[in-house]
Structure 1
């Protein structure tokens, strides 16, 4: 019996399209090209940061982010807000809580993501980020922390995310139920991997309430 549903952030709750389009504009790269390169990273198993190196060899990403913040202190830049939520997020989270499931957000995110998510007033019980824990998926210790904050046994936790490497394999190892959502480059591509075989896969968060807590 699942008692807690824990959610990844990027391409699970947040549509990152606007973020990557703003990055493309910042780097003076056509949006379609940059989005395609990001898809290539997902397809070849390369880290996302390699996309920046491909389009702008030698780019100092940290320095670029600092320069961007200085140039546009009032803009979203590489951040997100409520307009980036997928439309199924609020209804699904609300329904899960109505059915007695504890709902937690815990994903690989920078420090500012926590406050951004909290400002959305989502129907969740808690929000955590890798930055505040000093741990990133797929580190097993990340999922140990998930178990601690959920306050239930691993077998009573479902973790929902879009990546097999971060959200399925280590979740299985931790003794939790992984659910893979097919959206975003990694979601569509990694759902086809042999490692994903047998994983519960959904196309929308609307499917979760009946999956985890049938009425």
Structure 2
């Protein structure tokens, strides 16, 4: 059975549009330019922050982040940043008695902002608060600690294979790969993703069906998708 579901943050619960747009405005480049470079960097296996350094060679991203905060132009999240299925899905999971944890690679400030949205979750935590980032094994040790359940009773949901899918699987968790955002779409049909994912989904609302099927013992074998990732909601 599934006792705990842990969800990534960026491009799983929250759109990244505002985050990268704010950075583009801060360094004075067109938003499309930075967005395109972020995509190019990540699909080549790089750190998204490298896109900032490409545009501003020698840039200290941490110092720039602090400068943004000090100027009043720091991180911001509100209800409009959430994907439409977030509240229905999380609320539905809790209604089934599942423990819901939100945990992703975000700053401590992002954690504060997310908790301020009063999501239907039992815990919201970030890598900045835990002091360890994905895909490091230490992050997933923290995930299991927060889960309070055995690895095979815990599902990690995320869009990025390298940060979410593969390290969570290596930690013994079951995983649902979400076809959302640039990374989720880019790697949706990658053979390694297809082989590793216990489920491949295109909406968070599918998670309630997964939990119900597991509880009834009628779920299909773990590898296939709950439904085709090419179907629309």
Is the Cα contact below 8 Å between 1:42 and 1:189 reproduced in 2? no
Unaligned runs of 5+ in 1: none
CA distance in structure 2 between the partners assigned to 1:22 and 1:101 by the alignment: 35
Give yes or no for the alignment of 1:36 onto 2:36: yes
| Aligned-CA RMSD value | 1.6
Is the Cα contact below 8 Å between 1:42 and 1:185 reproduced in 2? no
* 1:52-201 correspondence runs (5 A): 52-71=52-71, 73=72, 75=73, 77-198=74-195, 199=197, 200-201=199-200
* 1:4-43 correspondence runs (5 A): 4-43=4-43
Corresponding residue of 1:205: 204
How does the TM-score come out when normalised to structure 2?
0.85
CA distance in structure 1 between the partners assigned to 2:127 and 2:82 by the alignment: 20
Unaligned runs of 5+ in 2: 217-233
Report which stretch shifted further, 91-100 or 105-114.
105-114
Report which stretch shifted further, 128-137 or 115-124.
128-137
Is the Cα contact below 8 Å between 1:4 and 1:157 reproduced in 2? yes
Which consecutive aligned stretches of 4+ in structure 1 deviate over 4 angstroms post-superposition?
Answer: none
CA distance in structure 2 between the partners assigned to 1:46 and 1:29 by the alignment: 21
Report how many residues are paired.
212
Corresponding residue of 1:45: 45
CA distance in structure 2 between the partners assigned to 1:84 and 1:141 by the alignment: 28
Is the Cα contact below 8 Å between 1:161 and 1:167 reproduced in 2? yes
CA distance in structure 2 between the partners assigned to 1:16 and 1:175 by the alignment: 28
- Say which structure, 1 or 2, has more relative contact order (CA 8 Å, 6+ apart): 1
Is the Cα contact below 8 Å between 1:12 and 1:161 reproduced in 2? yes
CA distance in structure 2 between the partners assigned to 1:186 and 1:29 by the alignment: 23
CA distance in structure 1 between the partners assigned to 2:155 and 2:32 by the alignment: 35
How does the TM-score come out when normalised to structure 1?
0.92
Cα 1:64–1:141 change in 2 (3 A) is closer
Is the Cα contact below 8 Å between 1:96 and 1:213 reproduced in 2? no
Deviations 1:95-114 (A, max 9, x none): 01111111011111111122
